[in-house]
A and B are shown apart, each in its own frame.
Chain A
């Protein structure tokens, strides 16, 4: 392991003092507004506190959480329900009873029953897909006001009967006579009762994501120590942001029968010594991905009000940000499962006509420390850019002092379907707070897919 451990990589600062240093430099472009295309703005966005699954939200259903985010958004923005043209939600593991969770949640949250709603799924970038679907509807003139969001409740997942048992039960339903029923029942075998859990692994490769992340980290020579350091940074920054009250997108949620939840509960800055004690979680015994440097199973929901700029202004809103160019990418789901940000970042920058230096706030989804660091190394490698991305030169590293400054999925939590909106709101709020203009949001997702989007601060 020595070669991998000693592979040079600059140490990560655990806190960033220079967050503001680069924010006042000249930009390649003054704005990303395009002629003849409607500007799309984020009026505001909220989220429920993100909780470790199995804690306060454990008795809820997904639409309950989604409803909490929606009512939170209604309170925060006071938007009249009837102006909302359309509602889109992202989710990954679907509750079978509420397969269109967007509609069920909207009805319960008191939105107009005249407002249609649909649910999208694209693994960890489901909420991103909900937002960009909304952007498309507005830009093409189909809608003016959209609510986009996402929800995930990992405390409860659909566990099914086995296929054999299901078949037996369905056949029994159709059986007409007692004789038919008995003959069907006689086919029952005890092993029919073995339950079927929702897949934790990629369907195409049968590999779990953690396993792939561990291999990815090894492929880019990311050491265990680097991963632990990065995770510690994420937790420390999240703690600081939480303590300073920067996580303003969080709305309190009175859980029925329980206390009001006001803040995320997965932030737990530890020490490197403590983290070093953990055993690898996926590739045993020599892997490097552990429980401490991975994102945890999370319950949570988010929602965001998106409008055409002129509509927002006409209604008297002061928007927070523009949603600008975005990009979806996909690559090999086996060996490059989590490299989406590396591929999406240069493409979205090129599309927008910006450079890495123009970006003031990076918000990347942190699935695993190893994944983030592998993406860094891929972006910093000429060899990788030439051989796998068809580029002449490397993408370049995002400066760490502008990167996930208020914590990330590792510390705040990662409710699969809801993370996308959190990333955009974090970028928008950071730009307002830190005074920057452009933010870049990027994420990887199961299936070897990825996403990136440019967020532009709304002029004050």
Chain B
């Protein structure tokens, strides 16, 4: 605030003493120039890579707008960002973090509401010229303008991602959007927080006009495209001022019909009800923001905009202060951190990559690699298995074509980066091995590959359990052997945890120290072991699954074993118990052994705890597992068996192990541990990760829980 005042005073001082036009004044975030009767307001925060709506930017914006409104010569204005590919990425999250009370946050919201309302009602039309990401507060600013023109390119996306941070659009978004895009589309936007590309934004009515991106010409394309956008926006600004162009959009028949039905109170109530039900089902009541969004929109529509704005700012204030939003914002910061390369440029760029088969994982890594135009060789032992891998990569790309995210031509050209081989690989810069978790197999593969690859080639082992030093024991050049562990499904999940990486697969990267099970498997294994014990104690599968999902895990604990693969779980459990001892005990591993011997390997074999069939959505229990469970049955201990205790037995073992990893130096920072746990292992995002959970729930309370369970079961629960 002090800084803002200083700038304000300074600018006033300058204005009085110098005759130059104030338009030429340099501000930190916003500048403007006048072209004829159009003011071109350019946003370019010099303090960061992206433009965010901070307090300073807000006040500079008001200052500029007041000048524009006060200058007679100016009839209208164009609002544009000078940063290619970036309009306004949203509100400044740190601004919320500095607020101490909900009232303070509400005040921030109300200030923004007032500014945007002034903008909307101004007699001099303002055109938002959008190129690049226009998200959150940026979108709210854009929709307060009278007209929007967007560049039709892949980088231009609009969206309201507030819900991902556990908050809601707090600058009038919930009140302006219903009229603009209709209630159903609005809920879709705000509750799924999906990114909307420029052309679909045009169809929805979110933008009024598109501008084609330009290729090479008299200047670099990105730069020139922005100037072109500005030039086009100026012609539209003149058109609007001369009333030659109407800011009102012609709505299509379907839109008109939807709008009409939404005027019927009964229909509206049904829509609210439906959406609320769906949100309840999806969030299990763990995330308050979506329901509040519905509530605020409802208030605005049913009780008028004044009540709507008030409700928006108040709910915004209360949401920003609760633990869920703090957890989610923490995750957001962590993610930004993990996407940075802390190791500098690699000595030699990986241009050619080989991936050694084994089913889904190999194909998944292949897909993310060819996607980034890396020349990739997929190698498998047989033509059939190789064919399956290639088909999976093709299918992944083709699905994108069906969703119109790629053209069929782009698909083909991306797919051409893939070569399938069943013979041995040569002349590659990096080999990623994704064969089955079996040390002797991994040793054999490593020796075979080392015989044919060039000296500089890095060998990455995709292991989740074995220490790399053990795998590298048979290598001629152990310094070139590293570990990489990806989380499946590869193409959708955000995370690849790796022990060193020089790939540009667009992954969130965390680096952990070498050790059995590294970080992720070490955290997951004790929890899995507890799952077995709980099942042995007679809790049925579906109840266990619903207990875990209602705690916030995205998939149930038993389902998770099926997804990972029962055989993999068994191997990992055995190896870790050997390496790290009793702490990894708990349930009887015999359960997994017997399941594997019967061929119940989880989803991949069609049967695990559940039965999986193509094209059948509902899962049925695999009744054959029951007999195994019966033979291994243990009496439950009543003092630790209610639902809540079952949830905490699972989560405390996870958290306890995570803290131990940090203490042993396996993990570098708790932030990385949180990110990995949430994005890689499905730790409930509403708690922000194991470390965030400890902070939110209270370390002492967790220790108390652990002690209680320790009394019942022993060492596995000893707090670290």
Q: Is the CB of A206 within 8 A of B407?
A: yes
A7–B232 CA distance with the chains assembled, in angstroms: 15
Question: Within 8 Å CB of A221, what residues of B?
Answer: 217-218
Q: Which residue of A211, A283, A335 contacts B221 across the interface (Cβ within 8 Å)? A: A335
Known: A2-B36, A205-B409, A335-B221. A215 touches B231 (CB 8 A): no
Give A283-308 as 1s and 0s: 1 = Cβ < 8 Å from B's Cβ atoms: 10010000000000000000000000
Q: Is the CB of A4 within 8 A of B218?
A: no
Chain A minimum-CB-distance residue to B236: A286
Does chain B have a CB within 8 A of A400? no
A214–B211 CA distance with the chains assembled, in angstroms: 12
Q: Is the CB of B232 within 8 A of A1?
A: yes
Q: Is the CB of B215 within 8 A of A215?
A: yes
Chain B minimum-CB-distance residue to A283: B212
Give B276-296 as 1s and 0s: 1 = Cβ < 8 Å from A's Cβ atoms: 000000000000000000000
Known: A206-B407, A215-B212, A283-B212. A3 touches B217 (CB 8 A): no
Does chain A have a CB within 8 A of B228? yes
Question: Within 8 Å CB of B219, what residues of A?
Answer: 383
Q: Is the CB of A4 within 8 A of B409?
A: no
Does chain A have a CB within 8 A of B227? yes
Query: What interface size band does chain B fall in?
Result: 20 to 34
Question: Within 8 Å CB of A219, what residues of B?
Answer: 214-218, 221, 224, 228
A-facing residues in B205-238 (Cβ within 8 Å): 211-221, 224, 227-228, 230-232, 234-236
Does chain B have a CB within 8 A of A82? no
A2–B78 CA distance with the chains assembled, in angstroms: 14
Most chain A C-beta atoms within 10 Å of own C-beta, residue among B35, B213, B215, B235: B215
Does chain B have a CB within 8 A of A388? yes
Give A205-241 as 1s and 0s: 1 = Cβ < 8 Å from B's Cβ atoms: 1100001001110111100000000000000000000
A17–B409 CA distance with the chains assembled, in angstroms: 49
Q: Is the CB of A383 within 8 A of B218?
A: yes
A254–B211 CA distance with the chains assembled, in angstroms: 48
Chain B minimum-CB-distance residue to A374: B217
Q: Is the CB of A332 within 8 A of B215?
A: yes
Q: Is the CB of B217 within 8 A of A1?
A: no
A204–B410 CA distance with the chains assembled, in angstroms: 8
Chain A minimum-CB-distance residue to B35: A2
Does chain B have a CB within 8 A of A188? no
Give A328-354 as 1s and 0s: 1 = Cβ < 8 Å from B's Cβ atoms: 000010111000000000000000000
Q: Is the CB of A203 within 8 A of B218?
A: no
A387–B219 CA distance with the chains assembled, in angstroms: 10
A383–B219 CA distance with the chains assembled, in angstroms: 8
Question: Within 8 Å CB of B231, what residues of A?
Answer: 1-4
Chain B minimum-CB-distance residue to A5: B231
A-facing residues in B138-185 (Cβ within 8 Å): none
Does chain B have a CB within 8 A of A22? no
Q: Is the CB of B218 within 8 A of A377?
A: yes
A231–B235 CA distance with the chains assembled, in angstroms: 24
Q: Is the CB of A388 within 8 A of B216?
A: yes
Q: Is the CB of A218 within 8 A of B216?
A: no
Q: Nearest chain A CB to B450's CB is how many angstroms away?
A: 40
Does chain B have a CB within 8 A of A77? no
Q: Is the CB of B409 within 8 A of A335?
A: no
A335–B221 CA distance with the chains assembled, in angstroms: 10
Question: Within 8 Å CB of A7, what residues of B?
Answer: 218
Known: A203-B409, A283-B212, A286-B235. A4 touches B217 (CB 8 A): no
A215–B232 CA distance with the chains assembled, in angstroms: 13
Q: Nearest chain B CB to A154's CB is how many angstroms away?
A: 25
Most chain B C-beta atoms within 10 Å of own C-beta, residue among A216, A286, A334, A336: A286
A335–B236 CA distance with the chains assembled, in angstroms: 25
Does chain B have a CB within 8 A of A384? yes
Question: Within 8 Å CB of A334, what residues of B?
Answer: 215
Q: Nearest chain A CB to B87's CB is how many angstroms away?
A: 20
Question: Within 8 Å CB of B217, what residues of A?
Answer: 216, 218-221, 374, 377-378, 384
Question: Within 8 Å CB of B35, what residues of A?
Answer: 2
A211–B215 CA distance with the chains assembled, in angstroms: 12
Question: Within 8 Å CB of A215, what residues of B?
Answer: 212-215
A384–B215 CA distance with the chains assembled, in angstroms: 12
A387–B234 CA distance with the chains assembled, in angstroms: 29
Chain A minimum-CB-distance residue to B213: A215
A246–B234 CA distance with the chains assembled, in angstroms: 47
Give A364-392 as 1s and 0s: 1 = Cβ < 8 Å from B's Cβ atoms: 00000000001001100101100110000
20 A–B contacts, CB within 8 A, in A order = A2-B36, A2-B231, A3-B227, A7-B218, A204-B409, A205-B407, A205-B409, A206-B407, A215-B212, A215-B214, A219-B218, A219-B221, A219-B224, A219-B228, A220-B218, A283-B212, A286-B211, A286-B235, A332-B215, A336-B215
Extra contacts, 8 of them, besides A1-B232, A3-B231 (Cβ < 8 A), are A7-B218, A215-B214, A218-B212, A219-B217, A335-B214, A335-B216, A336-B216, A387-B220
List the 7 closest pairs (A to B, CB-CB), nearest first. A335-B215, A219-B217, A219-B214, A220-B217, A1-B235, A204-B409, A1-B231
